[in-house]
Amino acid sequence: MKINYITTSTFGLEAVVKREVERLGGENINVSDGRIDFSGGIEMIPRFNMWLRSGDRLLINFAEFYAYTFDELFEKTKALPWEDWITIDGKFTVTGKSIKSQLFSVSDCQSIVKKAIVERLKPKYNVEWFEETGPEYKVQVGLLKDKVTLTIDTTGPGLHKRGYRLDAVVAPLKETIAAALIDLSYWKKDRILFDPMCGSGTIAIEAAMIARNIAPGLTRDFASKYWPQIDEKIWKDEKSKAYAEINVDVRPEIYASDMDPKAIETAKHNSRLAGVDDSIFFDTRKFDSQTPAPGDYGVMISNPPYGERIGTLEEMKEIHKNLGLFLKRNPSWSLYVITSNEEFEKQLGKKADKKRKLFNGNVKTDYYQYFGPRPPKNDTI
Ligand SMILES: C[S@@+](CC[C@H](N)C(=O)[O-])C[C@H]1O[C@@H](n2cnc3c(N)ncnc32)[C@H](O)[C@@H]1O
C-alpha cells in the first residue's frame, strides 16, 4: 500500500530536505514552500523519523479536497476512512491553520473536523464515547485558498528534538537547521570543521553525527511508535540497521570554541549525550583577530550572536571584521555564517560567493557562503 506523505521543512531549506527525501527512498517527490510531498510504503514512517536530519516532521497526507462551507468540510471529512489509522482508544487532537480561504475561522474548522471524525468512528467501532487513552494521532486541518489538507502527524515532538540537547545556551540553533548548514557546505568527514562561537555545540555535534553516520532519531521516541498499524518488527529492524551502520572507527577533526565557559560546559555535556564527545575538541576561547586556524583547507561554520542591543551591535561588528581577517590569513579555508545582520558582508569586508535566505524560528536570516579552494586530491578520501 502506497501512502502519501509530507515532510515539513524550514522555509529556505526545501532543496536540502528534498535531497534527504530522495536519499531515503521517497517516490513521486514534489516540492513547495515549506513542504516536500512524496509517496512510499509504511516502512517510511520509522525510516524517515529515524533518519531525517533537516526535515521538521513526517506527516501522512490523509486527504486533500476543496471546501467552501462548513457543511462541505464536515461531510467530506466524515466520508474518509479514519478507522484505517485511528484506533478505538486513539487520542486524536485537531489543530488547524487557514490562509486566504473562505473558511477562515480556524477554531471552527478544528471542531468541525473533530466532530466529523467522531461521527465517522462511532458506527465503525460501535461506541458512543471515545476514551482517548491510547496512542496519539495528531490531525491537522490546513486550508490554503479553500483547499483543505488533512494530515496525521507520525513524529510527535519535532524532529529537531534529537534528545541530546538537554541544556541550551541563549539563542541556540535548531538541530535541523544546523544539519542543513553542514549539508550546504562542502564539508566532508576528512576535512577540519571549526565553529569558533559554538554555544551549546549544535553545529559541531551534528557534524560529528553526520561523519559517524549516527541516525539523528536513534534514541528518541515518536508518536507513531505506538500505532498498531506499524509492526513492531519494522521499528526494531530499522533501529538495529541504524546501529549497525554507525561508523565507529571514524574520528572527524572538529573544533568548537566559545568565550563563555558555561557554553563550553553545556556543549561538552550535550556531545556526551549524543555519543560524539571523542570527536570534538572543545576550548573556552574568545574569537578575535589572532585566532589561529587548526590546519589547512578547513571549513568554518558558525552562528555568531545577532541581537539588537547597542553593545551587541558593536561586538558583532568586531566579530564580522575578525571573520574577514581569519579568511585573509587562511586563504585555504571556507567560511559559512548564518546571521540576520544585514551589514554582515560589509563589515566582513568581502561579498559572499553565495547567499541563501532561511528562517531560524521566526527570524529571517541569511546563510553567507565563502567557498575556499578544494583540498588537493591526495588529501581527500
Ligand atoms: C547565537 S549563539 C550560538 C548558538 C549555537 N549555534 C548553538 O546552537 O547553541 C552565539 C555564541 O557566540 C558566543 N560568542 C559571542 N562573541 C564571541 C567571541 N568573540 N568569541 C567566542 N564566542 C563568542 C556566545 O557566547 C554565544 O554562545
Residue 40 in 3-state DSSP?
A: strand
For residue 205, report the distance from its CA to the centre of ligand 1, in Å.
Answer: 15
For residue 290, report the distance from its CA to the centre of ligand 1, in Å.
Answer: 17
Give the domains, in start order, of the chain with CATH numbers.
3-153 (3.30.2130.30), 175-214+224-379 (3.40.50.150)
For residue 320, report the distance from its CA to the centre of ligand 1, in Å.
Answer: 13
Question: What is the atom index within ligand 1 of the atom nearest the CA of 302?
Answer: 6
- Among the listed residues 327, 345, 353, 313, the one whose alpha carbon sits nearest the alpha carbon of residue 196: 327
Distances 310 to 289, 306, 315, 317 between C-alpha atoms, Å:
21, 11, 9, 11
For residue 197, report the distance from its CA to the centre of ligand 1, in Å.
Answer: 4
Question: Which residues are near ligand 1 (CB < 6 Å)?
Answer: 169, 171-173, 196-200, 202-203, 258-260, 263, 286-287, 303-305, 315, 319
Q: Are 143 and 97 in contact (CB under 8 A)?
A: yes
Give φ, ψ of 365 to 5 degrees. Answer: -125, 170
Mutate to test the pocket of ligand 1, among 166, 200, 258 (most ligand atoms within 8 A of CB): 258
161: CB partners within 8 A, 6+ apart: 175, 220
Question: What is the atom index within ligand 1 of the atom nearest the CA of 319?
Answer: 19
pLDDT of residue 114: 97
Banded pLDDT at 377 (limits 50, 70, 90): confident
Question: What is the atom index within ligand 1 of the atom nearest the CA of 322?
Answer: 19
Q: Are 261 and 169 in contact (CB under 8 A)?
A: no
Q: Which long-range contacts (CB under 8 A, 24 or more apart) does 14-21 make?
A: 16/54, 16/180, 16/183, 16/184, 17/52, 17/54, 17/55, 17/180, 19/183, 20/51, 20/52, 20/53, 20/54, 20/55, 21/48, 21/55
Per residue in 254-296, pLDDT (tens digit) is 999 999 999 999 999 999 999 999 999 999 999 999 999 999 9
Per residue in 121-148, pLDDT (tens digit) is 999 999 999 999 999 999 999 999 999 9
pLDDT of residue 378: 64
For residue 303, report the distance from its CA to the centre of ligand 1, in Å.
Answer: 7
Question: What is the atom index within ligand 1 of the atom nearest the CA of 169?
Answer: 9
333: CB partners within 8 A, 6+ apart: 293, 296, 297, 298, 299, 300, 326, 327, 372
For residue 343, report the distance from its CA to the centre of ligand 1, in Å.
Answer: 18
Cell numbers for 372, please give them.
575556499
Rounded CA-CA distance 325/319 in Å is 10
pLDDT of residue 381: 44
pLDDT of residue 168: 64
Count CB atoms within 10 A of the CB of residue 114: 17
For residue 68, report the distance from its CA to the centre of ligand 1, in Å.
Answer: 49
Q: What is the pTM of this model?
A: 0.95
